[in-house]
Copies of this chain bind each other. A is one copy, B any other.
Amino acid sequence: SSSSESEYDYDFFWRKDTPLTKILDIDTNTKDSHVARDERLLRLTGSHPFNCEPPLSLNYQQGFITPSHLHFVRNHGAVPVVDESEIMNWTFTVEGMVDNPLTLTLKDMIRDFPQYTTPITLCCAGNRRKEQNMVLKGKGFNWGASGVSTSLWTGCFLWDIISKANPSKKARYVWMEGGDDPAKGPYGTCVPLHMVRDTERMIMVAYKQNGEFLSPDHGKPLRCVLPGIIGGRSVKWLKRLVVSDVPSNNWYHYYDNKVLPTMVTNKMAAEEDHWWKDERYTIYDLNLQTITVYPENDERLIINETNESELYEIKGFGYNGGGKRIGRIEVSLDRGKTWTLCDIDYPEDRYREAGYVDLFGGTVNVCDRMSCLCWCFWSTKVEKKLFKSSKDIVVRGMDISMSAQPRNMYWNVTSMLNNWWYRVAIQPGDTADEVKFEHPCIANKAGGWMDRVKAQGGDILDRTWGEDDEDDSGPKVKKE
């Protein structure tokens, strides 16, 4: 390890966790019976395939680095079985429009290319999809707001590998294909070559997560990690890289990870193939997201003369695509009439300030770039009495390009990149001096203000989020 470590407090860098995984009963009769898992993860698609997020507050409580066993998972089929003895001999290829096609083992990759370790936030494009499905069910399953996690990934730049293969000047995309075998063949997708080349983006091929060799759910033994880009492009169990002048022709690339225009209905999407072939609707960079964690859903607060001037800390996290720092996060207690500027903590910057450090066999190199590839944490303190006169807490963030989270939902068939203002409703509690908080909805169970509003016959999308029985100018979604 680096001699400079003694000059700096590196305690924040990494906290060793005790793995809380074991083979669970629910998995024993599936093809994933070889995979140890954390039973606290919320399974969003039944027992198999494994798609899960951690409970929102539990995720937040872990701090900046999410333990690997609590990291969200998106699998399309069974997890490949890879024996410990096969790890270093795992083979992948670099093909297509290159002068020098390559076949590499993981051992070659570690030996032949500089290795780095860096914190990266990954996020599923479907995060917060359940809110859209509450309005009208689209094509995807119900993610809550916690399909986002941060790990220290170790590996090399994907660009170092691609450039060694000497790509053609006409090359525009890098296709990636996994060693899994779900319904439509191995999962594959692609990423524009210019993103791979951009060192600010730190697009990696990684073999360690949080200092350990990859677990089966996270791509054992080798995966791509694309920071700031929707999780669906970070291909696991990497077997093939194909350099091309056109986007990937993989089924999953065409029929997933797009945001179709809002007026495209489920029926149109099913019947009209051209929507899926229009590359303008393919999503790469994540959009800006801020989510409130505290107050939690169903949290109660007694507010009376003795404590109404006390401060309550509203807090949560935010993340963004394309490496862009979230420059401001604002909270409103009056439905957007006025806003309060939040404090933001960027733990990633402490890695940046640390300079070069050896960690897990790679160099921590955050100091080499200006980009922000990780989530940040925001908070603001308000007098408790404000909750008695307010109907909700809404939060929005903006980045350096001033792209703001929208007030209104942009419903779309795949219900991806849903980032309208995260609204926590404030409702009367059980006693006159109690208030109760409601999130929009909760992963894997009923509850939240959307359920309540729908039960009351309200329209979630109207300008008062369905709370008042008056005409509105909110968006409408065609049922078909």
Contacts and interface: CB of A to CB of B under 8 A. Distances in A.
Interface of A: 169, 172, 192, 194, 198-200, 259, 261-263, 280-288, 321-322, 325, 327-328, 330, 335-341, 368-371, 398, 400-404, 406-408, 410, 417, 419, 463-464, 473-476, 478
Contacts of A407: 406-408
Contacts of A283: 400-402
Nearest to A125: B402
Contacts of A335: 473
Nearest to A320: B401
A398 B371 CA distance: 23
B403 A401 contact: yes
Nearest to A228: B401
Given A194-B198, A336-B474, 6 more contacts: A169-B368, A263-B341, A286-B401, A339-B475, A403-B403, A407-B408
A18 B285 CA distance: 44
A261 B473 contact: no
Contact of A280 (B169, B172, B400): B400
A194 B202 CA distance: 13
A198 B192 CA distance: 14
Given A400-B284, A473-B464, A340 B263 contact: yes
A261 B474 contact: no
Which of A194, A286, A340, A478 has its CB near the most chain B CB atoms (within 10 A)?
A194
Contacts of A194: 198-200, 369-371
Nearest to A462: B337
B328 A280 contact: yes
A280 B325 contact: yes
A283 B398 CA distance: 12
Which of A286, A330, A403, A475 has its CB near the most chain B CB atoms (within 10 A)?
A403
B410 A476 contact: no
Contact of A408 (B330, B336, B370, B398): B336
B401 A285 contact: yes
Contacts of A369: 194
A261 B463 contact: no
A258 to B, nearest CB: 10
A380 B259 CA distance: 21
Contacts of A280: 325, 327-328, 400
Given A262-B330, A263-B339, A287 B401 contact: yes
Contacts of A259: 402
Contacts of A172: 370
Contact of A337 (B406, B419, B473): B473
Nearest to A170: B367
Which of A200, A328, A402 has its CB near the most chain B CB atoms (within 10 A)?
A402
Contacts of A403: 287-288, 401, 403-404
A410 B400 contact: no
Contacts of A398: 410
A285 B474 contact: no
Given A337-B476, A473-B464, A281 B322 contact: no
Contacts of A400: 280, 282-285
B401 A327 contact: no
Contacts of A368: 169
A286 to B, nearest CB: 7
A335 B407 CA distance: 14
A433 to B, nearest CB: 27
A402 B408 contact: no
Which of A169, A172, A259, A288 has its CB near the most chain B CB atoms (within 10 A)?
A259
A377 to B, nearest CB: 15
Contacts of A475: 336-339
Nearest to A476: B337
A398 B262 CA distance: 11
Nearest to A470: B470
Nearest to A473: B335
A263 B370 contact: no
A169 B367 CA distance: 10
Contacts of A282: 400
Nearest to A278: B327
Contacts of A419: 402
A352 to B, nearest CB: 11
A339 B262 contact: yes
A353 to B, nearest CB: 13
Contacts of A281: 327-328
